[in-house]
């Protein structure tokens, strides 16, 4: 069983994303899950790169009102292609259209995080550039038919079939593309880790 880091306060993840839960657990954190159901609309005039931090802040703040003496982590990921924001697809037809747009091009993935603590709210964003090779039509159809594209920004997951066989290169953090920039999260969480000296001498 993996060791878990001891924290100064209870820790809540405001997301039911399997990818975010996996990343946090692998980084040594124990947490409870309380998904936020806030409205995810945003001002159309907002820069695409600002959207994920804005939404993460809204999610974290909503849950922090319920548990003010808790660490609440929220995150949001967007895919940006030529300044166009590609959110989660509404249906499989839209997913196919998104993947056709991304095929053979480089796009930006931005994940925003917000950590609400008893000492205040801290926000960060991290971005990565992802280069896709050109897909064949059957590859897109095969992936979309399987269905895992439906809950992901840009209609793909870096850890899924199309990400595994279609990404030529990533400039930036793999975990940012997966949905949680764990390096940035850890830096924000580090002040709340207890018994660091005891861990050092074990």
Catalytic residue positions? 76
Name the nearest CA neighbour of 162 among 195, 180, 136, 181: 136
């Amino acid at each position: 069983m993996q060791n878990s880091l001891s924290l100064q306060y209870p820790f809540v993840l405001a997301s039911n994303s399997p990818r975010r839960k996996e990343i946090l657990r692998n980084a040594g954190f124990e947490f409870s899950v309380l998904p936020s159901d806030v409205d995810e609309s945003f001002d159309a005039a907002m820069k695409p790169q600002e959207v994920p931090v804005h939404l993460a802040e809204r999610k974290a703040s909503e849950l922090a009102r319920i548990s003010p003496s808790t660490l609440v982590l929220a995150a949001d990921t967007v895919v940006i292609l030529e300044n166009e924001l590609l959110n989660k697809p509404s249906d499989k037809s839209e997913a196919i259209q998104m993947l056709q747009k991304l095929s053979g091009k480089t796009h930006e993935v931005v994940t925003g995080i917000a950590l609400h603590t008893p000492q205040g709210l801290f926000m960060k964003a991290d971005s990565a550039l992802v280069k896709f090779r050109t897909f064949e039509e059957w590859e897109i159809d095969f992936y979309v038919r399987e269905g895992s594209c439906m809950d992901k920004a840009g209609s793909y997951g870096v850890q899924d079939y199309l990400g595994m066989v279609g990404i030529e290169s990533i400039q930036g953090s793999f975990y940012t593309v997966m949905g949680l920039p764990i390096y940035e999260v850890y830096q924000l969480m580090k002040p709340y880790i207890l018994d660091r000296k005891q861990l050092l001498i074990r």
